[in-house]
Amino acid sequence: MQRIISGVLAWADGQFVPSDIAIESGKIASVVPAASAASNRALYALPGFTDVHVHLREPGFSYKETIATGTRAAARGGYTRVCAMPNLSPAPDSAAHLQAQLDIIERDAVIDVVPYGTITVNEAGEALSDMEALAPHVCAFSDDGRGVQSGDVMRAAMEKAKSLGKLIAAHCEDNRLLRGGCVHDGAYAKAHGLPGICSESEWGQIARDLDLVRKTGCAYHVCHISTKESVDLIRRAKKEGMDVTCETAPHYLLLTEDDLMDEGRFKMNPPLRTRADREALLQGLMDGTVDMIATDHAPHAAEEKSKGLAGSAMGIVGLETAFPLLYTYLVKKQRAISLERLVELMSLAPARRFGFPCEGLRPGADANLALWDLDAAYTIDPADFLSKGRATPFEGWKVCGKCVETLYRGNTVWKPAQRRQSS
C-alpha cells in the first residue's frame, strides 16, 4: 500500500521544497513538487536524526531505562537511529556479552539501534576487548564513561581498530585531574565550596590521543567535547589532515556554569563550563570543527538525581528535547546556525561519519523521516517524557517545534495519539 504525505516542506539537496512524498514498501517512492502550495503552517519533513551517543541502560540497568522506553523517546524526538553506549552489565566486550544486548534490541527497539563495543574488557582500561569478534556488529569502540588512562592501551586499541576499519570513539577524561569534582572548576565551584573538574581533564587526554592518531592513522572520534581547548586541538588536527571528528551536546551549547542550581538535573559529565567555552563550541559549529550534535542521553532513577550537585549521579536526558531546544535557541532566536545546518549536524553528518546510509529524503531510500510543526510552542515538562529519565536542566524552558509523526522504514513509530500506549 502506498502512502502520500502531501504539501510538506521536504528536505531536498540542502533546502526545503514544498513537496508530496510517496512511501511504498518501507521506501521513499518519490518526492515531487507539491500539487498545491504549502500552507503558512506547513509541516517540515526532516530526515530521521542519528544520535551516536545514547545510554539505553539495558542489559543491566533497566530500572533507569530500557531499549523499549529509550527508543520510543528517541522516536518522539525525531530520531530513527541511535548508537547505544557500552557501559552495561554485561559490558559488550565479547560476542557472547554483546548478544545479550542484540537480543533485546531485536525484540524491543522501535527504531534502528546500533551498539558500541567496549575498547577494553569490562571497560577496566587494561586488556583489549575481543574487538575482532565485535567489529561486524558494532558502530565503533568506546569505553564511554571512563577515559582510557593508559596511553599504551589506547595505542594498541587504535592499531586494532584501524586494522578492522572501525572508529575509536573516546570519552576523554584524565582520572588524575578529577579530584572528586562534581562541577566545572570555576566560579560556581569556588563560590559554593564544591570540588571542581578542571578543563585539562578533558583536553589533556584529547591531546594525548591526537598524538597517537598521528602515529597510528586510526579514525578517531571525540565524545561530548565541552572546552575551548578541545575545540582548538581538534581544529588544528583537522588542518593537519588527521581523520578526526567530534561531537558536542545541546547542554554545552545552551548552558554554562552561570546557569547552575544545586539540583541533580544540572549534573553531567563533562560538566557545564564557562561562557568562553560555550562561545568556542558555537564557533566550532559554524566553522565545521564540531561535526555533529549528540545528546549523551543518560537517564537515571529519580532517587539517583535527588541529591544535589555533590551527591547525584552524573547524566541528564535529552532525546525528546534536543531538536526543539536547538531549533528554538540557536536557529530561531540567536540565528547562530541555519535550520539546514542543524539538520546536517543531527542527521547527515553523524550517519556519514559512522558509516550508516546517508540518503536523506530521496527515492529508493528507507522512509526514515519525521514530520515537524515548527510553529508549535510549548513548555518542556519532564512529567510528559516517554523516557524513564526525568532529569533535565531545561525543565520549564519554552520551545518551538513539535514532532507530530516519526516514520521508520515507512512505519509510524511515534504520533501524539500513541503517547498512552507507548509509555
Tell me the percentage of the chain whose pLDDT exceeds 70: 98
Q: Which of 143, 277, 296, 366 is catalytic?
A: 296
- How far is residue 328's CA from residue 308's CA, in Å, rounded to a whole number? 28
- Beta-carbon contacts of 176 under 8 Å, excluding residues fewer than 6 positions away, are none
Does the pLDDT of residue 71 top 80, yes or no? yes
Mean pLDDT of 327-338: 95
**Mean of per-residue pLDDT scores for the chain:** 96
Question: Closest by alpha carbon to 143, among 159, 133, 164, 157?
Answer: 157
Does the pLDDT of residue 308 top 90, yes or no? yes
- How far is residue 352's CA from residue 50's CA, in Å, rounded to a whole number? 10
DSSP class per residue in 209-253: HHHHHHHH---EEE-S---HHHHHHHHHHHHTT--EEEEE-HHHH
- How far is residue 317's CA from residue 270's CA, in Å, rounded to a whole number? 14
Q: Which residues lie across from 113 on neighbouring strands?
A: 82
DSSP class per residue in 120-168: BGGG-SSSB--HHHHGGG-S-B--TTS----HHHHHHHHHHHHHHT--E
Contact indicator for 202, 230 with CB cutoff of 8 Å: yes
What homologous superfamily is domain 48-356 in, according to CATH? Answer: Metal-dependent hydrolases (3.20.20.140)
CA dihedral 260, 261, 264, 268 (to 10 degrees): 0
Question: Which helix or strand (DSSP H or E) is residue 206 part of?
Answer: helix 200-216
Lookup: cell for 179: 579530584
Q: What is the pLDDT of residue 14?
A: 82
- How far is residue 147's CA from residue 167's CA, in Å, rounded to a whole number? 16
Residue 185 a catalytic site member:
no
Q: What is the pLDDT of residue 35?
A: 81
Radius of gyration of the chain (CA): 21
* pLDDT digits 0-9 by tens, 72-91: 999 999 999 999 999 999 99
* pLDDT digits 0-9 by tens, 192-232: 999 999 999 999 999 999 999 999 999 999 999 999 999 99
Contact indicator for 243, 220 with CB cutoff of 8 Å: yes
* pLDDT digits 0-9 by tens, 152-181: 999 999 999 999 999 999 999 999 999 999
Residue-wise over 187-215: b if at least 16 C-beta within 10 A, else e? Answer: ebbeeeebebbbbbbbbbbbebbbebbee
- How far is residue 350's CA from residue 342's CA, in Å, rounded to a whole number? 12
- How far is residue 115's CA from residue 108's CA, in Å, rounded to a whole number? 14
How would CATH label the architecture of 2-44+371-422? Roll (2.30)
Residue type, 156: A
CA dihedral 408, 411, 413, 417 (to 10 degrees): 150
Work out the pLDDT band at 38, boundaries 50, 70, 90: low
Does the pLDDT of residue 423 top 50, yes or no? no
* pLDDT digits 0-9 by tens, 376-416: 999 999 999 999 999 999 999 999 999 999 999 999 999 99
Q: What is the pLDDT of residue 59?
A: 98
Query: Could you tell me the residue ranges of all domains in the chain?
Result: 2-44+371-422, 48-356
Residue 115, preceding bond cis, omega within 30 degrees? no
